[in-house]
């Protein structure tokens, strides 16, 4: 039963961390793995999925922005140059929250954005998990 609550807390933390709300999904992910080390793949899937879905909320919010409320020029130049592949960096502090918003504002294909976001998030949590297992 406690494990179910732990998954819910991990999902909530991962989801909110990917939006403009503050969050600490890395700490929640590490704490989950410390408490339930045999649930590595389930935690990895949960964190990546909900963090990716949180970024998609930012993407859809970007679609609602009026034309005169442009994201920063730096973020726009990056997205215009690299397209959806830029979203692999949506986990990076500071610019990471702006990338999905800008992708939505630019009306990049939502399905491609979703796939790239999920891949990037899965890679990120995979590196964290690997670090916890092999370096700690």
Let me know the angle formed at the C-alpha of 97 by 112 and 60, rounded to the nearest 5 degrees: 50
How far apart are alpha carbons 48 and 32 in whole angstroms? 14
For residue 34, give the H/E element and its range. Answer: helix 25-35
* Range 83-108 average pLDDT: 87
- Over residues 58-78, the pLDDT tens digits come to 999 999 988 776 667 777 777
Reported pTM? 0.87
- Over residues 3-43, the pLDDT tens digits come to 889 999 999 999 999 887 777 899 999 999 999 999 999 99
- Whether the CB-CB separation of 67 and 106 falls below 8 Å is answered with no
Assign 86 to helix, strand or coil.
helix
Write down the residue that tokens 């939502």 correspond to. 110
If you average pLDDT over every residue of the chain, what do you get? 89
> Measuring CA to CA, which residue among 118, 53, 63 is closest to residue 87?
118
Question: What is the pLDDT, as a whole number, of residue 71?
Answer: 67
């Amino acid at each position: 039963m406690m494990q179910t609550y732990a998954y819910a807390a991990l999902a909530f933390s991962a989801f909110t961390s990917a939006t403009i709300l503050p969050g600490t999904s890395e700490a929640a992910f590490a704490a989950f793995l410390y408490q339930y080390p045999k649930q590595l793949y389930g935690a990895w899937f949960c964190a990546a999925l909900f963090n990716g879905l949180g970024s998609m909320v930012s993407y859809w919010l970007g679609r609602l922005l009026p034309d005169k409320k442009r994201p920063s020029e730096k973020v726009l130049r990056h997205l215009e140059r690299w397209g959806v592949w830029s979203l692999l960096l949506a986990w990076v502090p500071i610019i990471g929250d702006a990338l999905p918003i800008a992708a939505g504002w630019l009306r990049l294909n939502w399905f491609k954005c979703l796939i790239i976001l999920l891949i990037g998030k899965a890679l990120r949590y995979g590196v964290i998990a690997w670090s916890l297992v092999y370096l700690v």
